[in-house]
Amino acid sequence: MCAVSRASRPPAALLATLLVTALTLTGCTSGDAKPNASATASVPLPTLPPGDQRDRVLQPGEVSSSLVPIAMQTGARDIVSIANFSADPTTARNSLQQHGFQSAYVVQYADPNTSAVVTNVVTKFATVAGATADMTGDLAAAARTGTPFDVTGLGDQAGGVRGKFQQGAADGTLVTLRWRSGDTTWLLAVGARNPVDAEGVRRLADTLVARLAKD
């Protein structure tokens, strides 16, 4: 995730935009929102759109079979696309450039029968220093959007936040993990109208990290 001037960009702006769109597209209703990383699809899995970072996000076989990728919200994203999620795109783009933004990929899964929405973003920077600066700013800003919690054993730098996701008139739950490994940062967020299991979100992150460690 980009670390723009957080005074001008609400740190959850990208997440809120993605989650609202996904819930609208799928017409989600209330239900259990606990992703199951071990679930196996009974039909052929979809293929994510091409992109340099496509293999570095959660793949269809790594999430519950009830979760399907939302085409409009999934794919490679350039600096302009990421910056445009900001309340101040110009400032956002400048910050991304300063941190050495290289490329990004967004995948979003939603369950048509429940309110579960899983968003995974990977962003590569030119240097470790740039990625560190970006993640440091992002973690600090995210801590103001909910209740932060410590995350250990996940990359070189990490943090989590429990908060609420406003969908219509009812408050929902949003659990977000952010972490950095070298020059790359990740965001994994699960939003739903019902309580989200933070341990389940961590299991999804561990599934991704374990696969990447084998590559």
**Residue 119 phi/psi, 5° resolution?**
-120, 130
What is the residue type of 181?
Answer: S
How far is residue 118's CA from residue 95's CA, in Å, rounded to a whole number?
26
Q: Under CATH, which number does the domain 13-39+51-214 receive?
A: 3.40.1000
What is the residue type of 127?
Answer: T
What is the residue type of 57?
Answer: V
Question: Could you tell me the pLDDT band of residue 137, with boundaries at 50, 70 and 90?
Answer: confident
pLDDT at residue 112 greater than cutoff 60:
yes
- Contact indicator for 52, 103 with CB cutoff of 8 Å: yes
Question: How confident is the model over 146-172, as pLDDT tens digits?
Answer: 899 999 999 999 999 999 876 443 668
Q: Write down the pTM of the prediction.
A: 0.81
Helix, coil or strand: residue 64: coil
How far is residue 205's CA from residue 35's CA, in Å, rounded to a whole number?
11
Helix, coil or strand: residue 188: strand
pLDDT confidence of residue 56 = 97
- What is the residue extent of each domain of the chain? 13-39+51-214
